């Protein structure tokens, strides 16, 4: 009888210890939203050979219809057009800055591409995000989703004399 109580006590202690360990593990590995977004975006694009993602700001809306998605793309295009017209991104472009391009992708994110090999710090991304977020808010869009990534400057292929 004592052996049964002893085994039951040991099993109880192990179960409690396991639950505590799991809780501590869950707490220590709880990921911030930005890291979670990076992982989710990575799953969406894992078969793509696109440039490495540095950070994701904002939140991608959920679309209930193709019409909502088309309207979203039109809004993304308008955000970029307005920023370009105002010249707000000009100081960030290469060679003075490290940005080599910006646009949007088929998943519905705005994107800013930095020259591969440059050191990018969070305050710079915050500053650039503010430009896109301000324009989006003027259009009643909250938390425009923006991906920061690395890329290379496209180089035009050399043509042979016979072409």
> Residue 52 has what pLDDT?
83
Contact 61, 72 (CB under 8 A): yes
| Tokens matching residue 154 | 């496209």
Contacts of 149 (CB under 8 A, 6+ apart): 50, 51, 52, 53, 54, 111, 112, 113, 114
> In what side-by-side order are the strands of the sheet with 99-104?
53-57, 146-151, 110-115, 99-104
What's the pLDDT at 1? 63
Angle between helix axes 66-86 and 122-138 (nearest 10 degrees) is 110
Distance in angstroms (rounded) separating the CA atoms of residues 128 and 93 = 11
pTM for the model:
0.66
What CA–CA distance (Å, rounded) separates 130 from 126?
Answer: 6
Contact 29, 48 (CB under 8 A): no
Q: Is 100:113 a contact under the CB 8 Å cutoff?
A: yes
**Which contiguous run of DSSP H or E holds residue 99?**
strand 99-104
Q: From CA 40, how far away is CA 28, in angstroms rounded?
A: 20
- Per-residue burial over 26-61, b = 16 or more CB atoms within 10 Å of its CB, e = otherwise: eeeeeeeeeeebbeebeeeeeeeeeeebbbbbbebb
Residues of the chain with pLDDT under 70: 1-51, 157-163
């Amino acid at each position: 009888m004592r052996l049964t109580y002893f085994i039951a006590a040991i099993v109880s202690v192990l179960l409690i210890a396991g639950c505590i360990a799991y809780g501590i593990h869950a707490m220590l590995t709880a990921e911030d939203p930005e890291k979670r977004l990076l992982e989710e975006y990575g799953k969406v694009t894992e078969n793509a050979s696109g440039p490495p993602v540095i950070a994701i700001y904002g939140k991608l809306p959920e679309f209930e219809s193709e019409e909502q998605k088309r309207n979203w793309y039109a809004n993304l295009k308008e955000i970029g057009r307005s920023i370009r017209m105002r010249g707000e991104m000009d100081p960030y472009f290469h060679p003075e800055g490290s940005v080599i391009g910006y646009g949007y992708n088929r998943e519905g994110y705005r994107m800013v591409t930095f020259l591969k090999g440059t050191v990018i710090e969070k305050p710079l991304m915050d500053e650039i995000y503010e430009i896109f977020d301000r324009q989006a808010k003027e259009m009643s869009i909250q938390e425009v989703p923006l991906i920061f990534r690395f890329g290379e400057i496209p180089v035009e292929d050399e043509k042979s004399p016979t072409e």
